[in-house]
Amino acid sequence: MLNAGSDHSDLEVALPADLRRFGNSTMVRVAGEVGAPAVVALGGISASRFVCRGEDGGAGWWPGLVGARCAVDPERHRVLGLDFAADPSGRCAPTTEDQARVLAAALDCAGIDRVHAIVGASYGGMVALAFAASFPARVSRLAIISAGAEPHPAASAARELQRRIVALGLRSGHADEALAIARGMAMLTYRTPEEFDARFRGGLDSEDPLAPSEAGRYLRARGAAFRAVMSPERFLSLSGSIDRHRIGAGAIACPALLVGATSDQLVPPAQMRVLAQLLGGETRLHLLDCLEGHDMFLTQASAVGDLIKPFLEA
């Protein structure tokens, strides 16, 4: 049980018996006052339960949107962050409906019957949609950022290549390097050519064809950072989960706020417009202009929060 006024409590959540191939349990972190409106904050596949405060006590992974005086504020909300369930062997990908059931178990564990809102970005937005479709009585509203009712074919193709590289790395004994390369490939879809043009100079200065370019050094750094938070097997499981996502959006009747980026290559504006048309409840769509594309929910978190805050307070 959680005590009134408790802050940043970690709870172990037993997975439903038929989902134990994704582990026996996962973790949820609950922050804020007991009795405050509950808000679940979910991000991409590398996101974790440390949404308000990092594991080291520093900032969480969503600064600008979650935190003091932000749209999601543990001083005003009961904030939940979740560690997604994944197959530790990398051989099986959960559906987003499976993750929705894990979230339902996490809410049960935290003693929360109904949440005021789920704020979900990227994969977290997919899970939020699946939860609203599967458990309509347990959520009052959705804020969905850069997620659609199903994957875009071009995005699925890019992720399939990434998974093949990681699988090859596992077979050849170079799994960490393969994971870093796959992450670099993913960054090319998370961001935009226009941003790379603004930040980097093209071409090589060395006769060595494997020497890094300016942009390549950035991608190598992002790949190294990714290895610190993601195993190759977990990546395979959760990347595959993205491509198993399909929900009947018409069954979702709660109010929804949709936020996308006009420059998003993974979830193009047309997909966000289709989702807005499919959802069964009152829906508002905002498309923001930015250089960063799909990563807008991280790089432009304050601007996204300016849209979400009045929606949560309505």
Residue ranges of E strands in the chain: 9-14, 25-31, 38-42, 78-82, 117-121, 142-145, 256-261, 283-288
Burial of 9 per CB tally in 10 Å (0-12, 13-18, 19+)? middle
Q: What is the pTM of this model?
A: 0.96
Q: Taking residues 7-34, what's their average pLDDT?
A: 94
Give 153-242's CATH code, choosing from 1.10.1660.10, 3.90.1150.10, 1.20.1260.10, 1.10.1740.110: 1.10.1740.110
In the chain, the amino acid numbered 29 is R
193-251 pLDDT, tens digit per residue, is 999 999 999 999 999 999 999 999 999 999 999 999 999 999 999 999 999 999 999 99
pLDDT at 55: 87
Give yes or no for residue 2 having a pLDDT over 70.
no
Q: Taking residues 254-277, what's their average pLDDT?
A: 98
CB of 289 within 8 A of CB of 301? no
Query: Can you give the residue ranges of every domain in the chain?
Result: 9-152+245-313, 153-242
Q: Do the two domains 9-152+245-313 and 153-242 of this chain adopt the same fold?
A: no
Q: Any idea of the CA torsion for 166, 151, 102, 285, to the nearest 10 degrees?
A: 130
Residues classed as catalytic? 122, 264, 294
Considering the segment(s) 9-152+245-313 as one domain, its CATH architecture is: 3-Layer(aba) Sandwich (3.40)
150-166 pLDDT, tens digit per residue, is 999 999 999 999 999 99
Distance, in Å, from the CA atom of 108 to the CA atom of 302, rounded to the nearest integer, reads: 31
CB of 32 within 8 A of CB of 45? no
